[in-house]
Amino acid sequence: MTLNPSLVRGMSKPGSTTNDSAAGKDWNARLFALDWGVANRNGFKGSNLAEQCRYRYKIYVQGRSWSVSEKYILACDSPMLAIDTPFEDFFSRGLVPPRHYWPVDPKDKCRAVKFAVDWGNAHPALAQRMGKEGSGFAREEMSMDYVYDYMLHVLTQYAALLRYKPTVPENAVELCPESMACSAQGRDREFMMESREMYVAGYEPCTLPPPFTAEEEREMAAREEDVRRKVVKMKGR
């Protein structure tokens, strides 16, 4: 797991591992410190997310707030050990523990991660299925068609809140996608061109389901809490 050491509290100081070699204790996690300033200057050569998928398990932890890495970790085919966070991604409410990931108690990170790895190593078929379920969710439920549908609904909802009528300034210059991409180079240009409107879909966007009722929210929270209690109970055996 790569991380910014200034953002994570309660875990061993990153350097190479979380091993307590003096006590002969292995916490079953390998943490690698990453200075994003240095990584940026080096072109992110040492932080390739695809290369990080070679690890048997992947830990997801928040930064100063919401972290962009959850969906990439989820897509790795490795079981995601997700440290509980108050922040929600646009897709995270669709994830079900322990089907798509293993919940980790933020108050006892090291012991919780060690137990999760010990459990996964003792139950490789179940751990592998969890990894496959997680990557399947990322591949199927987070396809670009669905992401664009989500963006449409978000923009539509925000537009409904506007209380002013936008107008085009007198000296405004119209830009087209091609002209915006002209100054870009390399992969920046490639990705900008790929994100252009390619065609008019012959179908309607997905229907936005109604908001959860208070009872449905309580039931979802109760199910997740029940899973966490079971994990804690297993860890205490």
pTM for the complete prediction?
Answer: 0.74
Amino acid at 55: Y
Instruction: Answer yes or no: are the C-beta atoms of 66 and 87 closer than 8 Å.
Output: yes
Q: How far, in Å, CA of 191 to CA of 19, rounded?
A: 40
Mean pLDDT throughout 146-150? 86
pLDDT tens profile 157-182: 899 998 888 888 989 888 777 777 77
> pLDDT grade, residue 8 (50/70/90)?
low
Whether the pLDDT of residue 131 is over 80: the answer is yes
Q: What is the CATH number of domain 2-141?
A: 3.40.50
Proportion of the chain above pLDDT 70, given as a percent:
87
Question: Which comes out higher in pLDDT, residue 42 or 237?
Answer: 42
Q: How is the chain split into domains, by residue range?
A: 2-141, 143-161+179-206
pLDDT score of 80 more than 90 = yes
* pLDDT single digits (tens) 14-63: 444 454 544 567 777 887 777 778 888 887 777 777 777 888 999 988 87
Residue 11 has pLDDT above 60, yes or no: no
Q: What is the pLDDT of residue 135?
A: 92
Q: What percent of the chain shows pLDDT beyond 90?
A: 18
* DSSP-assigned letter for residue 20: B
DSSP of the chain: -EE-TTT--SSPPPSS---BGGGTB--S---EE--HHHHHHTTTTT--TTGGGGSSSEEE---SS--TTHHHHHTTSSPEEEE--S---TTGGG--TTTT-EEE-GGGHHHHHHHHHHHHHHSHHHHHHHHHHHHHHHHHTT-HHHHHHHHHHHHHHHHHH--S-----TT-----HHHHHHT--HHHHHHHHHTS-----SSPPPPPPPPPPHHHHHHHHHHHHHHHHHHHHHHT-
Which tops the pLDDT comparison, 177 or 82?
A: 82
Give me the pLDDT at residue 100, please.
93
